[in-house]
Amino acid sequence: MNCPDIRNLRLSDASLKAIERIKRKPGLAKALQGSMAGGQIVNIFVSPTPPAATLYSIHSADWVTFATALSGIPAIARASMQTEAYNEWIESQLRNNFAESQFWKAVYDGCLFR
Amino acid sequence: MAAFSARVFLALTLTLTSQAAFGGEDDLLLTNAVATLAETELRKAEAYLSETIDACDKKMLVIKIPLSAEIGVSRRALLLGCDYFYRRNRNACLAPAMQQYVLAKRTYLKSIPVSTLSEVTDETPSSIDTIADEWWRELRAKARYHAEVPEGERAKIERIPGLEQPFDMIHSWAASGN
């Protein structure tokens, strides 16, 4: 497991919209709520209000709980979320926005490396 | 004569009403039976899609992507090329299960009574839209790759071993140092 500490991340409008799409995926919020105690990642993906265009710092431990939550999600919902994460990862790479690409890489697999 | 006509009219009315009632009941039974069968097919297609997603994930290898400078292309060109082949290979791996799922879901939506349709289709975004979006994104990636990367650079990129099979783009790219 290679989870990044992400500090002072400002999410772009495209990322904020992708997060909103992920939050609407059936079953995802419930799985995340059931498996996480807290942390910024919960605020981002579970909060009923849209994520703010503010600075986020996500501790590596938050990604570990996120990875645990991902493993409990049905394959179709998980793949759908990973696809959103991949789409944002490639666009942030193309924009040379490495902090954001690091965030989406972690969302893609919760830092689990097959 | 008038009394006779009234009795005939009453009998006819009762017969037609009861036939309509029985016909409606038969239609309802048939509708429900079709919906049950369609739901069974949808569950099977969902299970097949889940298994296929897991199987395709396991097939995705971390390949060795060279540094862009090593093969004489820009970093952006290499990203665009790898992105297109990643999407193409992943969609090809999932295609049979995705097609079966889309067909089963469409059939299911057609089979259920109109009164309950909104409950089923309130799912946002729909899984069919998500699948169509992935196929659209593959075409977009191909168009962007062909529009932005000259043929000579494409030839260099397409010689990278492993691009023709499902591969783990994010981890391959992370390992490449690009």
- Find the mean pLDDT for residues A81-102: 94
- Find the mean pLDDT for residues A14-19: 91
B144 touches chain A (CB under 8 A): no
Mean pLDDT of chain A: 80
What total of structural domains would you count in chain B?
1
The answer for B 36-65 residues in CB contact with A (under 8 A) is 46, 49-51, 53-54, 57-58, 60
pLDDT along chain B (178 residues), means of 10: 50 47 75 94 96 96 97 98 98 97 95 67 67 95 98 98 96 95
What's residue B147's pLDDT?
A: 98
Burial class (CB in 10 A: 0-12, 13-18, 19+), A20: exposed
Best CA proximity match to A87, nearest among B102, B140, B92, B104: B140
More confident residue, B173 or A111: B173
What's residue A25's pLDDT?
A: 78
More confident residue, A19 or A67: A19
Q: Which residue spans within A16-99 are E strands per DSSP?
A: 55-58
Closest CB from B60, B125, B168 relative to A21: B125
Confirm whether A61 is domain-assigned. no
Confirm whether A51 is domain-assigned. no
Confirm whether A57 is domain-assigned. no
**Closest alpha carbon within chain B to A22:** B125
Q: Which residues of B touch A76 (CB under 8 A)?
A: 46, 49-50, 53, 127
> Residue A4: which pLDDT band, with cuts at 50, 70 and 90?
confident
What does residue A69 show for φ and ψ, rounded to 5 degrees? -65, -40
What's residue B121's pLDDT?
A: 54
Does B130 contact A93 at a Cβ distance shorter than 8 Å? no
On the question of a cis peptide bond just before residue B125, with omega within 30 degrees of 0, the verdict is yes
Q: Which of A33-37, A52-56, B18-22, B74-78 bottoms out in mean pLDDT, i.e. has the lowest?
A: B18-22
Distance CA B35, CA A27 (A): 23
Tell me the CA distances in angstroms from B92 to A109, B18, B79, B174, one per residue in order: 21, 55, 20, 24
What total of structural domains would you count in chain A?
1
Domain range enclosing B94: 2-176
Does A90 contact B174 at a Cβ distance shorter than 8 Å? no
To the nearest whole Å, the CA of A48 is away from the closest chain B CA by 15
Domain range enclosing A99: 77-114
Q: Which residues of A touch B124 (CB under 8 A)?
A: 24
**Closest alpha carbon within chain B to A114:** B58
A8 touches chain B (CB under 8 A): no
Q: Is the pLDDT of residue A102 over 60?
A: yes
What's residue A39's pLDDT?
A: 66
More confident residue, A104 or B15: A104
- Find the mean pLDDT for residues A77-96: 93
Q: Which residues of A touch B130 (CB under 8 A)?
A: 80, 83
What's residue B1's pLDDT?
A: 46
> Residue A36: which pLDDT band, with cuts at 50, 70 and 90?
low
Does B53 contact A75 at a Cβ distance shorter than 8 Å? yes
Confirm whether A29 is domain-assigned. no
Report for A17-31, A74-88, B13-27, B151-165: range of highest mean pLDDT: B151-165
Q: Which residues of A touch B84 (CB under 8 A)?
A: none
Does A87 contact B171 at a Cβ distance shorter than 8 Å? no
What does residue A104 show for φ and ψ, rounded to 5 degrees? -70, -30
- Beta-carbon contacts of B174 under 8 Å, excluding residues fewer than 6 positions away, are A105
- Find the mean pLDDT for residues A30-51: 70
Confirm whether A81 is domain-assigned. yes
Does A26 contact B123 at a Cβ distance shorter than 8 Å? yes
Would you say the pTM of this structure is higher than 0.90?
no
Distance CA B107, CA B77 (A): 42
**Closest alpha carbon within chain B to A90:** B83
